[in-house]
Amino acid sequence: MSHVTADAVSWWERARARDEGLRVAYFSMEFGLHERLPIYSGGLGVLAGDHLKAAADLGLPLVGVGLLYRGGYFRQGIDAAGRQTEDYQPVDPEAAGLEREPVSVEVDVGGTAIEAAVWRKDVGSVPLYLLEVDWLTDALYGGDREHRIRQELLLGVGGIRALAALGIEPTVFHLNEGHSAFLQIERVRALVAGGLETKAALEHVRRSSVFTTHTPVPAGNEVFGAELVARYVGPLAAEAGLGEEALLDLGRSGDEPGFGLTPLALRLSSSANGVSGLHGEVAREMWEWLWPGQETPIGHVTNGVHLGTWLDPALAELLRSAGVRPEAPPDEASWESARVTDPEALWRVHAAAKARLAERAGIERDLLTIGFARRFATYKRAGLVFSDVERLLALPVQLVVAGKAHPADAPGKDVMQEIVELARERRAQGRVVFLENYDIGLARTLVRGCDVWLNTPTRPLEASGTSGMKAAVNGVLNLSVLDGWWAEGYSAEVGWAIDGVSDEADREQLYRLLEHEIVPTFTGDRERWVTMMQESIAQLAPRFSMHRAVIEYVERYYLPAHEAARSDS
């Protein structure tokens, strides 16, 4: 639980001079709030959950909209051959703290009218509304392309209708990734039904929309066949005054076939952003063809993490005793006081967190512990550190690995199987451990209890990488490719950097850092190690907190969109 104080909640009260009725609707395909509500798959969902928690801490008038997956995301197992298995277990809404709202919404999906229930989960002062249709919201990211477009229609179209049924009138709509982009068509339809011309409705929707793109990887940018879009979205678009060609043009990706939800969201949002400085650059390069001859209007807000969720409570208390206020907005929290925490006390707190991890993972308490936990997408290069096993095992280190591969990602499963097989070999037993069923609960244990957090993506494919932030605020030192957030956060005072040149060069640099800098410092210079822990907290916690990120969204995106939309009325 976060320590919400009157000062933290009052931030919006102090900042609201220009708002005049601001209310933000935040749409996301997944939300990671707690392991008991498994409607998230990875960083995107956990980021969305942290966004809601920080908005609540700050008193921001925001509501979340998503889907309730009755089968959740899968529970992971590892079979005798070392392969991932998937088991979907029913989610009990009441047990997860959800309440059924006394409204339902109807959405046409391919000529069939479906009725969706609406559930509510309060995240502090922020309500999260989740739509459910038993056969459609069966599982997150499951099914074929037709199932997916139905789910995304339910999220976008049904989400807008649910807010209307509840009497909620947002002034700004924030699309967290492109999955919810059909909400833009529904908003145009509703405005046209209210008497506005299509052109004016499109412009109003554009002015009041904020879009966050999260990945440069093609698989993260949803594309549907034109026939599928015409069949499922065409009737809705027609009611909005958009013919089939006009609709398809909104999602067209240059000369590429298909209908892209990212181009749709970009075309119908006045503000767009990547999730780190480097990712903002990559996104502008990716999508510059949408604005020929113009500056590409994609900025960035670097992601953050909700400290009330991820900061070790014992560490938070120690920081408070030194004068830090972890629950406060960054410019009021005095994070620089982390530098004067008692070194021995800081090490004791870390040792206790490490002991909890050691008990869960069956590892030693005193050995240098390196954590690697994230989705098993191939661009994250989970196998890089294991590419010279003999050289790795010659070092006094142990590695704890966790993460899930998408059920359809065979190459990701192959990488995982290789690591599991290594962990089962006699030479590596106790030195390499794979922990099954990575979720928010396991993540908390890992980001608090490791000594070093390892991240080795292929640059520049890691848009942000929030797991490293969670580790950093707990004094865990990062060893990462200079990609995503680490390109901004790295300094020699808080961790180590891999340049991200090539597989071969990165592997050699990784091993050399371990052999010549990281292991010798951990084993021979405890004073320097603890000083780096203090610096990691002091420097990185204020810069990569979700409070900071939400405040940036308010000041740079929400308020300007609110004011632009208000000028239409």
Note whether 444 and 452 are within 8 A (CB). Answer: no
Q: What pLDDT does residue 567 have?
A: 81
Q: Does domain 310-544 have CATH number 3.40.50.2000?
A: yes
What tokens were used for 274? 């990547």
What counts of helices (H) and strands (E) characterise the chain? 24, 20
Question: 3-class secondary structure for 468-531?
Answer: HHHHHHCCCEEEEECCCCHHHHCCCCCEEEECCCCHHHHHHHHHHHHHHHHHHHHHHCHHHHHH
Which amino acid type is present at position 13? Answer: E
What's the burial of 362, exposed, middle or buried (CB within 10 Å: 0-12/13-18/19+)? Answer: exposed
Dist. CA 164–CA 70, nearest whole Å = 24
**pLDDT of 1 over the 50 cut:** no
Dist. CA 241–CA 433, nearest whole Å = 57
Asked if domains 6-221+270-304+549-566 and 310-544 share a fold, the reply is yes
Domain residue extents for the chain: 6-221+270-304+549-566, 310-544
**pLDDT of 385 over the 70 cut:** yes
Which amino acid type is present at position 319? Answer: L
* Neighbour count for residue 124 (Cβ, 10 Å): 18
* Neighbour count for residue 359 (Cβ, 10 Å): 12
Instruction: Quote the percentage of the chain above a pLDDT of 90.
Output: 93
> What's the alpha-carbon Rg for the chain, to the nearest Å?
24
Mean of all residue pLDDT scores within the chain? 95
Confidence of residue 255 (pLDDT cuts 50, 70, 90): confident
Q: What pLDDT does residue 4 have?
A: 41
In angstroms, what CA-CA distances link 358 with 97, 310, 367, 448? 31, 19, 10, 12
For the segment(s) 6-221+270-304+549-566, the CATH number from 3.40.50.2000, 3.30.70.260, 3.90.550.10, 3.40.50.2300 is 3.40.50.2000
**pLDDT of 2 over the 70 cut:** no
Q: What pLDDT does residue 569 have?
A: 63
For 149-205, the pLDDT digits (tens) are 999 999 999 999 999 999 999 999 999 999 999 999 999 999 999 999 999 999 999
Instruction: Quote the percentage of the chain above a pLDDT of 70.
Output: 98
Which amino acid type is present at position 475? Answer: G
What is the 8-class DSSP label of residue 25? E
Q: What pLDDT does residue 220 have?
A: 76
In angstroms, what CA-CA distances link 1 with 306, 308, 310? 10, 6, 9
Dist. CA 498–CA 479, nearest whole Å = 7
**First vs last Cα of the chain: how many Å apart?**
41
Confidence of residue 3 (pLDDT cuts 50, 70, 90): very low
* pLDDT mean over 47-54: 98
